[in-house]
Amino acid sequence: MDAAYQPELWRDLYVMLGTSSAALIGLLYVVTSLHLDEIVNNEAYRIRARSNSIFLIITLVEAALILTPQPAMALGAELILLNLFGWSFPVRNTYRFLYKDRDLSKRGGLRRSRAAAFHGSFLLGVAGGIGVIEGLQLGLYLATASYVGLLVTITMNAWSIMLGIGQDEKLAKARPKKRAR
């Protein structure tokens, strides 16, 4: 095994990260089911909630890959492919929210900083995979920074969705009700 790639040193961290991803997946589904009507009726929230689910599944798979005994070359390639696949979602969402349907981004609370964080995290994961293949000690550090960056950004994205739903519900309650005639 390469000196730079020592998975036994990362085991506890990735057990904790994988467990965090699994727990967040469960919480996301519970919260989504509690506010299903609001998410279904707002296309931006629906896209963002689906993306959060996919991103959490990607992080869970990444933890499993890192915990799986395998050659560094295989892990590096898997990290590159997984992060490129993950990156395709923020690329598509950014195009859709910022260029194709700008009104959608206003209704859904898109923030460029959050989009940049998703892009940066996945690209950091690709760089981590390259580092693992090249035998650089930095490889798993980059992959870990990518993972933690994704978890933080996913959490902030979920919080933003819930705040938006709460504001929408508050506005709906504040509107005067039409009287039946």
Mean pLDDT for the chain overall: 85
pLDDT tens, position by position, 15-32: 999 999 999 999 888 888
CA distance 40 to 45: 8
pLDDT at 7 over 80: no
Average pLDDT over residues 148-160: 91
- The pLDDT-based confidence of 66 (bands split at 50, 70, 90) is very high
pLDDT tens, position by position, 123-150: 999 999 999 999 998 999 999 999 999 9
For residues 164 and 125, the answer to whether their CB atoms sit within 8 Å is no
Nearest alpha carbon to residue 39 among 175, 157, 178: 157
Q: Does residue 174 lie in a domain region?
A: no
Q: Does residue 171 lie in a domain region?
A: no
The total number of structural domains in the chain stands at 1
Q: Does residue 134 lie in a domain region?
A: yes
Q: Does residue 175 lie in a domain region?
A: no
pLDDT given for residue 104 in this prediction: 60
pLDDT at 170 over 80: no
- The pLDDT-based confidence of 9 (bands split at 50, 70, 90) is confident
pLDDT at 54 over 80: yes
Instruction: Say which residues have a Cβ less than 8 Å from residue 56's Cβ, sequence separation at least 6.
Output: 21, 24, 25, 28, 154
Average pLDDT over residues 47-57: 92
Q: Does residue 176 lie in a domain region?
A: no
CA distance 1 to 23: 32
Nearest alpha carbon to residue 121 among 181, 26, 33, 56: 56
pLDDT given for residue 106 in this prediction: 57
Q: Does residue 178 lie in a domain region?
A: no
Structural domain that includes position 31: 7-165
Q: Does residue 124 lie in a domain region?
A: yes
CA distance 136 to 151: 24
Q: Does residue 181 lie in a domain region?
A: no
pLDDT at 91 over 70: yes
Angle between helices 43-67 and 138-174 (to 10 degrees): 150
- The pLDDT-based confidence of 110 (bands split at 50, 70, 90) is low
